[in-house]
Amino acid sequence: MHVRSIKLRNYRNYYELDLALSPGINIFLGANAQGKTNIVEAVCYASLGRSHRTHADADLIRWQEEQASLELAFERRGVVNKLAFEFCRSKRRRILLNGQPIPLKELVGNLNTVLFSPEDLFLIKGAPAGRRRFLDGEISQASPAYYHELLQYNRILSQRNTLLKRIRERRADASMLELWDVQLAASAEKITRKRQEAVRKLNMLANLMQRRISGDRENLSVTYGLSGLEQENMTKPLASWYNEMLEKSRSADILRGSTSIGPHHDDVLLFVNGINLRTFGSQGQQRTGVLSLKLAELEFLRSETGEYPILLLDDVMSELDAPRRHQLLDFIRRERIQTLITATDAAYFPQERFGTYYQVKQGTVSR
């Protein structure tokens, strides 16, 4: 899988850009605020239908322009496909696959990417929501069915929360929760089972990467933590367990106006040599752990889809020390993964010819 070309019109600081990419390593060099990250963002957006930098599509439209577009041609298993996105300040965006309009739920899984940005260095020590997003994004790209189930779960959760608020305001009866609890528990079981399966694979892959990066000094274990009762004490089927837990927490949920049990509160736990990485790991161990997770994500998607995804490295060279940079660059060169890298200095890369270099300056790109 690789991206052949990108076309941007009034996207961020680009008035017009037609860019052909190498199927290997593509390095974008330039000072800050010149437009390097905008190229990486465009590829990530084409993969997931959202930006990693903003929640508003209007932010993608060039200043004082009304419309913008993003087009991307990519090859997958020898077949060339085209994705296009049309943005307008006064209308909802349009997504087209090979010229045909598609909804967002049919986009995810067509073009797979793994993004590694400076914000990801806080993945381990940050809030559980970031680790859930990491896991959901990984599984969704490999399994469109999981992505559809996740959308369904979030819809049910939103409706249950709305009902909880109405009950708290005495505008609805608490008995109405039983119907929603059954639906939420059934969906929660599917989400949790798929996450647990993915974490088991991720655990094996991430540990291999951690041992390689640390010179066999560290073992990394990745586990899935359920909210509510300890997993060791759970002997019932998951759906039954969720139903029971939702019933037990019903009074507190009504007072709170939100659902306190479910996959939306779960976490991914990481340990190095048996020590909780988030709580007791050093900064170096945490950064090695994040790098191991990202490399494991590449291997996970290859094992699930048969192809490596596109790797997007946005300004992380300056955040990694020399040994970790060396491990990362050696890996992507050895595995022949198409990679887009942004950096401010060519000194971060080997002196021998390493890939295709581009200079980015004020919204223009030269090879």
Amino acid type, 240: S
Phi then psi for 273, rounded to 5 degrees?
A: 50, 40
Can you give the pLDDT at residue 34? 94
Task: State pTM to two decimals.
Answer: 0.90
Instruction: Please tell me the distance from the alpha carbon of residue 115 to that of residue 297, in angstroms, as a whole number.
Output: 10
pLDDT tens, the chain, 367 aa long: 999 999 999 999 999 999 999 999 999 999 999 999 999 999 999 999 999 899 999 999 999 999 999 999 999 999 999 999 999 999 999 999 999 999 999 999 999 999 999 888 889 999 999 999 999 999 999 999 999 999 999 999 999 999 999 999 999 999 999 999 999 999 999 999 999 999 999 999 999 999 988 889 999 999 999 876 554 456 678 999 999 999 999 999 999 999 999 999 999 999 999 999 999 988 888 988 999 999 999 999 999 999 999 999 999 888 888 888 888 898 998 999 999 999 999 889 987 778 899 999 999 999 9
Can you give the pLDDT at residue 119? 87
Can you give the pLDDT at residue 233? 56
Instruction: Please tell me the distance from the alpha carbon of residue 325 to that of residue 116, in angstroms, as a whole number.
Output: 13
SS3 assignment for 25-75: EEEEECCCCCCHHHHHHHHHHHHHCCCCCCCCHHHHECCCCCEEEEEEEEE
In terms of DSSP H, where are the helices of the chain? 36-48, 128-142, 144-168, 177-213, 238-248, 250-256, 277-280, 283-305, 322-335
With contact defined as beta carbons under 8 Å apart, do 44 and 312 qualify?
A: yes
Read off the tokens for 307: 């192809």
The alpha carbon of 275 is separated from its chain's Cα centroid by a whole number of angstroms, namely: 26
Can you give the pLDDT at residue 232? 46
With contact defined as beta carbons under 8 Å apart, do 335 and 7 qualify?
A: no
